[in-house]
Amino acid sequence: MRYGATMTAAILMTFVVAAPLTAGAADEKAQTTTQEAKTVVSDSWLTSKTKISLFADERVKMTQISVDTAKGVVHLRGKVDSAEAKSAAGDVAKAVEGVKSVKNDLQVVTPAARQAVDANDKDIAKAVETRLAKDTQLKKVDVRTDSGVVTLTGQVATIDASAKASEMARGVAGVKSVKNELAFAK
């Protein structure tokens, strides 16, 4: 009987000692999750504020500008009519409160060349998407094309899958270069 009481006391003591450690791990995970949620909300808010600012600016015609934000870094993509409009878009984005930096990948395409470029970009993107869809590892890859420059985003399982996606995209007629922004799934 004495052995049973000693064992029970030892087991209870283990739980008492381990409880604060488990609670600490739970608190740390909760803080990490809370921080990640704040970052997502902040990034969404920065994207919205940047889009509104670009729309309101007379120097920039917002119609073909895509805005994405990750960890406070605003990424501008799309087409504008002039180098001045590209520069102005970058300046507008930098002026938004909370923006850490701006990655300005806007393409300067004159209005006269816009239709041909847009049509060609759509064909290129569709061809790359069709090619990637044939591989089960690459079905979740998003494709965007600006003036023949293909940007790959999304998640893949391995670095090999990422390299394969770039290789397959480069093999499509009309592709000038490939920007691989694929993330690896954890």
* Higher per-residue pLDDT: 170 or 35: 170
The predicted-structure confidence for 51-93, as pLDDT tens digits, reads as follows 899 888 888 866 678 888 888 999 998 888 888 999 999 999 9
| Domains of the chain and CATH, by start | 1-108 (3.30.1340.30), 111-184 (3.30.1340)
Q: What are phi and psi of 59, to 5 degrees?
A: -75, -20
In terms of Cβ atoms closer than 10 Å to its own Cβ (0-12, 13-18, 19+), residue 172 is buried
The pair of three-digit structure tokens given for residue 175, joined into one six-digit string: 């592709």
Amino acid letter at 74? V
Assign 176 a pLDDT band (cuts: 50, 70, 90): confident
What element of type H or E holds 4? helix 2-56
The predicted-structure confidence for 119-172, as pLDDT tens digits, reads as follows 688 899 999 999 999 998 898 899 999 888 899 999 899 999 999 999 999 888
The predicted-structure confidence for 88-115, as pLDDT tens digits, reads as follows 999 999 999 999 999 998 888 877 676 6
pLDDT value at position 121? 86
